């Protein structure tokens, strides 16, 4: 006979729990007599029960107030559970397993329950659109003026607080494009609350860039904000597909939308390829900027040469990740026009900027699963 396990977190402190489903029927609820007592107000006294038949595992909701779900779908009748399914009692999620190696039981329990919770929370994130944009200033290094903002996506849902966690959950369900589209839309909506609607930079997820339906979200974006200046960001790694990026560039021009390349220096894009596509802006990856003021003279000359080459083809160079006064000074000397980073301003909610007077350029982004801006 198989041994079935529930792996998850219970209690207000979210402690890990690995529970053998035995004996059966195995009842889950808030009452002390339940086989698995979950002390949460969202859980009914006797919420659901699990039982086995012919070595298979089944779950039945016991007319609970907040429902029982399998992989995010609410059940209305007896339903079979399989290994790696996520069973959710109200807002408490568990992963169904057969066994956990003893030597790795604590780590495995933590990883599985984190993953399970994030996955079931993701449905709520999409359904209720609980994404909050935070705005980080972008500064003109020549004048010191704030010319715009980078917007980072945040969520208060447990397990989905950061963009990386959001996209990890989205990848499990193959819903990266839908999440990316939601991030863009919320960013545009919130940007309308500025005193003067700013130009914005929005990023895409690679799934969207590669598909043949990019025109759908591009056209929706323009319809949502017909007169706003918009620039779409593409990760530097995609620049190697020159033909694909050129086609995307042409699509954007049809809708009067600009193009920017992000994380320059993190991949293998070449100046010749950049010149052939001519983006409006090029963001130098923070790996190039960090500690640049302490780098030797030959390295600083190399970065200056890159910046000069970018400016010569009519592209605006932007330095990402400035965190010290020294980094700001060297980037100004080298010739960067725009910059952003914690030294220049921390991300803040829209309320902080309601009276901001816009300047010629502004940036809005969302982060990818890796933490890089994409559609944080």
pLDDT, tens only, 102-134: 444 444 445 555 555 666 678 888 888 989 988
135 and 243 both lie in a single domain: yes
Residue 160 · residue 133 · CB < 8 Å: no
For 140-151, write each residue's pLDDT tens digit.
999 999 888 888
Residue 267 · residue 237 · CB < 8 Å: yes
Range of the domain at 114: 5-123
Of 231, 233, 276, 280, the C-alpha closest to 256 is 231
Structure tokens at 356: 């901001």
141 and 286 both lie in a single domain: yes
Residue 369 lies in a domain: no
Q: What pLDDT score does 266 carry?
A: 64
Residue 361 lies in a domain: no
Q: What is the pTM of this model?
A: 0.67
User: Stretch 184-198: mean pLDDT, rounded?
Assistant: 89
Structure tokens at 35: 């086989």
182 and 325 both lie in a single domain: yes
Structure tokens at 166: 């959001």
75 and 147 both lie in a single domain: no
Residue 293 lies in a domain: yes
d(CA 216, CA 195): 29
Residue 366 lies in a domain: no
For 33-80, write each residue's pLDDT tens digit.
999 999 889 999 999 999 999 889 999 999 999 999 998 889 999 999
């Amino acid at each position: 006979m198989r041994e079935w396990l529930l792996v998850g977190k219970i209690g207000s402190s979210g402690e890990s729990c690995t529970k053998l489903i035995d004996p059966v029927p195995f009842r889950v609820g808030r009452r002390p007599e339940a086989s698995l007592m979950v002390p949460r107000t969202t859980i009914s006294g006797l919420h659901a029960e699990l039982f086995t038949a012919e070595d298979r595992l089944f779950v039945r909701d016991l007319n609970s107030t907040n429902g029982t779900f399998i992989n995010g779908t609410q059940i209305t009748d007896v339903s079979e559970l399989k290994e790696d399914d996520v069973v959710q009692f109200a807002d408490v999620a568990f992963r169904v397993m057969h066994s956990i190696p003893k030597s790795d039981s604590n780590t495995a329990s933590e990883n599985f329950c984190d993953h399970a919770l994030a996955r079931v929370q993701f449905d709520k994130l999409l359904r209720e659109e609980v994404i909050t944009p935070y705005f980080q200033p972008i500064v003109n290094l020549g004048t010191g003026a704030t010319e715009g903002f980078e917007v980072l996506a945040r969520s208060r849902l447990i397990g989905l607080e950061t963009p990386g966690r959001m996209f990890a959950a989205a990848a499990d369900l193959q819903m990266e494009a839908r999440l990316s589209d939601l991030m863009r839309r919320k960013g545009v909506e919130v940007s309308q609350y500025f005193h003067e609607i700013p130009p914005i930079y929005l990023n895409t997820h690679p799934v969207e860039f590669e598909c043949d339906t990019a025109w759908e979200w591009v056209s929706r974006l323009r319809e949502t904000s017909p007169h706003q200046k918009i620039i779409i960001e593409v990760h530097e790694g995609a620049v190697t597909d020159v033909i694909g990026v050129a086609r995307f560039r042409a699509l954007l021009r049809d809708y009067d939308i600009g193009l920017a390349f992000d994380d320059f220096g993190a991949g293998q894009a070449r100046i010749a390829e950049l010149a052939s596509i001519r983006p409006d802006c090029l963001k130098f990856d923070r790996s190039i900027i960090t500690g640049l003021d302490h780098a030797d003279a030959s390295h600083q000359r190399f970065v200056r040469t890159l910046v000069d080459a970018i400016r010569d083809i009519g592209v605006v160079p932007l330095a990402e990740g400035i965190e010290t006064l020294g980094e700001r000074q060297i980037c100004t000397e080298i010739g960067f026009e725009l910059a952003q980073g914690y030294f220049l301003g921390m991300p803040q909610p829209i309320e902080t900027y309601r009276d901001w007077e816009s300047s010629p350029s502004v940036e809005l982004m969302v982060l990818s699963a890796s933490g890089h801006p994409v559609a944080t």
